[in-house]
Amino acid sequence: MRTAANRGVAKLFPAHVGGIQYLKPLLAVLPGARVMATGGVTVDNATDWLAAGAFSVSIGSDLYRDDDVAGGVARLRARLDAGTG
């Protein structure tokens, strides 16, 4: 992880296995690391990952769950704009 973070952005996959509680201590020992959380990140918890220090998140299957990608993106955008998790 350290090598990847030093070269750009490190991907934390599957993020849901360790969860946000894993990301926080990881970033404590890798200050300044840019970590993208993917795998288990949802529209509902994306802002929680960002608030915990993730540089970015990747949401895949959660956007397709209801076959309404545009609706999922709109929900996520509203959450990000509101700053809520």
Which amino acid is present at 60?
A: G
* Per-chain mean pLDDT for the chain: 86
Is the pLDDT reported for residue 49 higher than 90? yes
Q: What is the pLDDT of residue 34?
A: 92
Q: Which residue has the tokens 């750009």?
A: 8
Structure-token pair, residue 63: 């956007």
Q: What is the pLDDT of residue 66?
A: 66
Is the pLDDT reported for residue 10 higher than 70? yes
Could you report how far apart the first and last alpha carbons of the chain are, in Å? 26
Is the pLDDT reported for residue 73 higher than 80? yes
Measured at the CA of 5, the angle between CA 42 and CA 72, to 5 degrees, comes to 15
Which SS3 state, helix, strand or coil, does residue 22 take? helix
The pTM for the full model equals 0.79
C-alpha 44/C-alpha 54 separation (Å) is 15
Q: What's the whole-number mean pLDDT along residues 55-70?
A: 81
